[in-house]
Amino acid sequence: MFDLQSIVRPNVWRMKPYASARDEFKGTASVYLDANENNLGSLAGNNYNRYPDPHQKALKSKIATIKGVKPSQIFLGNGSDEAIDLLFRMVCRPGQDRALFLPPTYGMYEVSANLNDVQLDTVQLTADFQIPVAEVLRNVKPETKLIFICSPNNPTGNNINPEDIEAILDNFDGLVIVDEAYIDFSDEPSWTTRLQDFPNLVVLQTFSKAWGMAGLRLGMAFASEEIIALLDKIKPPYNINEATQELALKALDQDEQLKYMIEEIIQERQLLEAALPTLAIVEKVYPTDANFILVKVKDANALYSYLLDKGIVTRNRSSVPGCENCLRISVGTTDENQKLYQAMAEFKV
């Protein structure tokens, strides 16, 4: 049985969160002398001399409507990378607790585990990049607090079978993190629709991909109100800056433009998926539901350097077990994709 109290670090239960000036006085006033701000104004303009809303109320309320969850089920982070780090800090006692991940997958789970001195157990995805469920459950130890699942998975691009994720959720008493950074490019429904079924589910999403806001750093975690309250308790008070909150609010009004960009990227992805296998150097184009494609070639190192010489940067994943001789290629604009294709077509082994 999943029991949040038993997996959260005792110091996290015990600690009092930082009480910001904006927490202690919630009304409106004509003179604010409570936060040691610069009341003369800001060299950056706007209201940037003032601290931002630590609870991001306006933003959460809009996201809640779009995502069909309560505002109290949303945590906002300085990128979803911040949520990943805080999840470790919330439940894993350094040097004692463990987490489990399924490579080849997103590298930050391992970086955050190492930073927090948490032993990370590894179960390799199968040859078609799916979860070997029985092996995962065999590798769960009494100290295992987190399992990270990335779907669509980075760098492979595929969706993880939902029934396998459900089996892990049903049979593991720690938190299951389903990282959906690329969900907007996928036909699969989001796991946010299943939050009421699984008290141990945390879903991560981000504004960095489909929304085109990687530079603003805004990530989301969706979970039970209890889990979100704990993440809010331990986050740095002003983790989402004012400019990001303002710009994200504006972006959230542009759902037509978002839809257009997603459709465009998927269409370009499909063109690349059809074109790349016709090239002699391409051995395999892996199925993808993301905004990138994993491509296996004859000699990835040579192709990577050749493309660099042509001014085209891809991600060489050759050294990642399971991705030997693979490049991960983001879907670009029509023009960029054509340049990539042309350059690859002219590559002599």
Binding flag, residue 154, ligand PLP (CB under 6 A): yes
Which one of 179, 184, 232, 289 is in contact with ligand PLP (CB under 6 A)? 179
Long-range contacts of 19-25 (CB under 8 A, 24+ apart): 20/51, 20/54, 20/237, 20/238, 21/51, 22/51, 22/53, 22/54, 23/54, 23/237
The residue range among 18-26, 77-85, 263-271, 301-309 that interacts with ligand PLP, by the rule CB under 6 A, is 77-85
Binding flag, residue 115, ligand PLP (CB under 6 A): no
Binding flag, residue 150, ligand PLP (CB under 6 A): yes
Q: Would you say 162 and 135 are in contact if contact means Cβ atoms under 8 Å apart? A: no
115/214 with CB nearer ligand PLP: 214
Tokens of 330: 């983001």
Residue 130 CB partners (closer than 8 Å, separation 6+): 158, 160, 161, 164
Binding flag, residue 292, ligand PLP (CB under 6 A): no
Looking only at the bridges linking them, the beta strands covering 282-285 and 292-297 are antiparallel
218/297 with CB nearer ligand PLP: 218
Tokens of 94: 């350094």
Q: Would you say 260 and 111 are in contact if contact means Cβ atoms under 8 Å apart? A: no
Please report how close the Cβ of residue 292 comes to ligand PLP at its closest, in angstroms.
9
Looking only at the bridges linking them, the beta strands covering 144-150 and 119-122 are unpaired
Please report how close the Cβ of residue 150 comes to ligand PLP at its closest, in angstroms.
5
144/206 with CB nearer ligand PLP: 206
Tokens of 130: 């799916």
Binding flag, residue 79, ligand PLP (CB under 6 A): yes
22/217 with CB nearer ligand PLP: 217
52/219 with CB nearer ligand PLP: 219
Give dist(CA 263, CA 85) in Å, integer.
Answer: 32
Q: Interface residues for ligand PLP in 186-225 (CB under 6 A)?
A: 206, 208, 214, 219
The residue range among 79-87, 130-138, 168-176, 314-322 that interacts with ligand PLP, by the rule CB under 6 A, is 79-87
54/79 with CB nearer ligand PLP: 79
Binding flag, residue 56, ligand PLP (CB under 6 A): no
Please report how close the Cβ of residue 83 comes to ligand PLP at its closest, in angstroms.
8
Q: Which residue is nearest to ligand PLP (CB)?
A: 79
Please report how close the Cβ of residue 345 comes to ligand PLP at its closest, in angstroms.
28
Please report how close the Cβ of residue 309 comes to ligand PLP at its closest, in angstroms.
25
Which one of 136, 165, 177, 181 is in contact with ligand PLP (CB under 6 A)? 181
Binding flag, residue 294, ligand PLP (CB under 6 A): no
Please report how close the Cβ of residue 186 comes to ligand PLP at its closest, in angstroms.
12
Please report how close the Cβ of residue 30 comes to ligand PLP at its closest, in angstroms.
38
* Cα 66 versus chain centre, distance: 18
Strand arrangement of the beta sheet that strand 282-285 belongs to = 282-285, 292-297, 326-330, 315-316
Give dist(CA 334, CA 275) in Å, integer.
Answer: 13
151/281 with CB nearer ligand PLP: 151
Closest residue by Cα to residue 12 from 81, 122, 93: 93
The residue range among 9-17, 25-33, 74-82, 341-349 that interacts with ligand PLP, by the rule CB under 6 A, is 74-82
Q: Would you say 114 and 135 are in contact if contact means Cβ atoms under 8 Å apart? A: no
CA distances from 128 to 104, 138, 159, 164, 198 (A): 11, 20, 11, 14, 27
Give dist(CA 289, CA 310) in Å, integer.
Answer: 28
Looking only at the bridges linking them, the beta strands covering 74-77 and 119-122 are unpaired
Total number of residues that touch ligand PLP (CB under 6 A): 12
Positions that interact with ligand PLP (CB under 6 A): 79-81, 106, 150, 154, 179, 181, 206, 208, 214, 219
